[in-house]
Structure 1
Amino acid sequence: MELRFEGDELSSVLNRLRRAQGQISGVVRMIEEGRDCEDVVTQLAAASRALDRAGFAIIATGLQQCLNDEQDGADGATTEQMRARLEKLFLSLA
């Protein structure tokens, strides 16, 4: 299953990933500076949420594309095979 992003979808996912990247850099810096544990964990949780949201956006885009491809008969995979693949992707983020 090839994932195709267009315009707003691409920029939204990239922005989320860049935000997470910045937050992770912030966590590293906070640890190096000996910052308070609560502050570090709060920032780490924010980075985790940003990664989760990016992952879910990628999966949602993939799901939409799979449904469109299935209607067009483009992929060749059965509905059950596609469902199993998407379920595996969702579970990988759980």
Structure 2
Amino acid sequence: MKGIIKGQVHTHKAPDGTEYLHSHDNEHKHVHQNTKMVLNRLSRASGHLESVKRMVEDGRDCSEVLIQLSAVISALSNTGKVILKDHMEHCIVDAVELGDKAAIDNLAKAIDRFIK
């Protein structure tokens, strides 16, 4: 992988054997095998949060609201873990191979914020 030029397209193979094209443009588009699952999880969490909002508007018991809010937070946290795993398996592997210290530093900053 060393010596890859920005804009040059090359192939990667996912752990399941799926191959996908990848390039190192200035605007790096992240394409991962779990994108659809992440979007579905975010949609569900968004809908769940809306129902928690309605619970508050309806004056529901605070304990019930907190339990449901905890479920939303957990769903978002688990979705973040999926994104992190995908990022490490794809982008960070590429960054290490290419010696892209900035990408690794950005991941460290993101992890610090994520686990607060």
TM-score range, shorter chain: 0.7 to 0.9
**Larger-gyration structure (1/2):** 2
The answer to whether structure 1 residue 42 and structure 2 residue 67 are counterparts is: yes
The amino acid across from 1:42 in the alignment is I
What SS is found at the alignment partner of 1:86?
helix
Q: Percent identity?
A: 33
For residues 37-76 of structure 1, the aligned pairs below 5 Å read 37-70=62-95, 73=98
Tell whether the 8 Å contact from 1:16 to 1:53 is kept in structure 2 after alignment: no
Aligned CA distance change for structure 1 residues 71 and 39 (closer, same or farther; 3 Å): same
Q: Distance in 1 between matches of 2:29 and 2:107?
A: 13
**Ranges of 4+ aligned residues in structure 1 off by more than 6 Å:** none
Count of equivalent residues = 88
Query: What TM-score results when the alignment is normalised by the length of structure 1?
Result: 0.78
**Residue number in structure 1 paired with 2:23:** none
Q: Which runs of 5+ in 2 are unaligned?
A: 1-27
Deviations 1:29-56 (A, max 9, x none): 0001100000000111111111111112
Correspondence for 2:42 among 14, 17, 40:
17
Structure 1 vs Structure 2 CA RMSD:
1.9
Tell whether the 8 Å contact from 1:59 to 1:89 is kept in structure 2 after alignment: no
Answer 1 or 2: higher relative contact order, Cα 8 Å, separation at least 6. Answer: 1
The amino acid across from 1:5 in the alignment is H
Following superposition, the deviation at residue 67 of structure 1 comes to: 4.1
Q: Which runs of 5+ in 1 are unaligned?
A: none
Query: What TM-score results when the alignment is normalised by the length of structure 2?
Result: 0.65
Higher strand share goes to which structure? 2
